[in-house]
Structure 1
Amino acid sequence: MSVDHVDEAGSSEGESVAAAAVAAEALHYYPVAPGVRLNVRRGPGTQYGIVRVLPEGAKVPIFCQTPGTTVSGPYGTSNIWDNIDDGEFVADAYVLTGSDGYVASRCS
């Protein structure tokens, strides 16, 4: 008889690994427009400070999306901003999502 290791929270190691695998599969990475070094900002607009610059060929996760400054880019003109990390946003007009609208839930 085998027994899974149980952590302090009471869940088994097998359950934790399975939950992480499901979460990783659900998270999709989208490519930034070719040849673009994309500014990552502290908020959903060009008035927010730049946190970092993504290199050419980057792919980004989209955790949620929110309206902000309207930006024109390779994939159209949009006011949608993608939250790619805690407090980090990029203009959706530079991200190939395959849609002119929202592809993730709205940020709260």
Structure 2
Amino acid sequence: MAVENTGIADIDGAEAVAATATRYPVAPGVRLKVRSGPGTHYQLVRTLPLGASVPITCQKPGEWVTGTYGTTNLWDSIGSGQYVSDSYVKTGSDGYVAPRCA
């Protein structure tokens, strides 16, 4: 899987963790919204481009979302203060693939 430069600003070493985290592809044809927390009511941080892949540093439960890969309440942390719904990320699992976020 190709590693891409996400241009994510870092604090407290999160960039180093993201650089070593396994990257997972976002569902084809989806420009995934990145939120500041685990739910759609959190502030929109940015929108990922088509064909993006994301590093999952940790995961936490939040709002239930139905997406390309099913319905889940798991949210993936892809950087400091940046979350995406796991329902749009192809992890190959219906459960946790990374540690729980603190």
Return the TM-score normalized by structure 1.
Answer: 0.76
Q: Which has the higher helix share?
A: 1
* Structure 2 unaligned regions, length at least 5: 1-15
Match status 1:62 vs 2:62: no
Query: Which stretches of structure 1, 4 residues or more, deviate above 2 A after TM superposition?
Result: none
Number of corresponding residues: 86
**If you compute each CA radius of gyration, which structure gives the higher value, 1 or 2?**
1
Which position in structure 2 is the counterpart of 1:78? 72
Cα deviation digits, residues 11-54 of structure 1 (max 9, x gap):
xxxxxxxxx8xx95x52100000000000000000110100000
Quick one: higher RCO (CA 8 Å, sep 6+), 1 or 2? 2
Cα deviation digits, residues 29-81 of structure 1 (max 9, x gap):
00000000000000000110100000010000000000000000010000000
Return the TM-score normalized by structure 2.
Answer: 0.81
Q: RMSD of the alignment, in Å?
A: 1.4
- % identical equivalent positions: 65
Cα deviation digits, residues 85-105 of structure 1 (max 9, x gap):
000000000000000000000
* Structure 1 unaligned regions, length at least 5: 1-19
